[in-house]
Amino acid sequence: MQEFIIIVLVASFLYPMKNLIGLLTRLGLFGMMAYTLFSASIPNWGDKFFALIILSLPIFLNMLFKFLKLKIIKA
């Protein structure tokens, strides 16, 4: 569980970058999501969905920040 938290924290900072580091972070996150779904490393589907939710947190946080920034600018 601690590995997921560390991955999510690091990816949350690197995901919105518009350079090679951000691109590699995005590819790494999507690769880890695909590996979680299609490998037998996590046998239970409930645990797989939990891992996917944890891994998708940086994506949702980035979308939330962009949405809030648009709302603040338009207000």
pLDDT tens figures, 26-41: 888 899 899 989 998 8
Q: In the numeric block, which tokens belong to residue 4? A: 């997921």
Q: Could you give the residue ranges of the DSSP H alpha helices within 1-75?
A: 2-14, 20-38, 45-55, 57-74
Q: In the numeric block, which tokens belong to residue 3? A: 């590995």
pTM > 0.85: yes or no:
no
**Structural domain total, the chain:** 1
Mapped onto helix, strand or coil, the DSSP state of residue 1 is coil
pLDDT of 4 higher than 80: no
Q: In the numeric block, which tokens belong to residue 62? A: 């980035």
DSSP character for 41? S
Task: Give me the mean pLDDT over the 42-56 stretch.
Answer: 89
Which residue segment(s) compose the domain that 16 sits in? 2-74
pLDDT of 1 higher than 70: no
Q: Which of 3-7, 34-38, 50-54, 55-59 has the lowest mean pLDDT?
A: 3-7
The answer to whether 25 and 14 are in contact (CB under 8 A) is yes
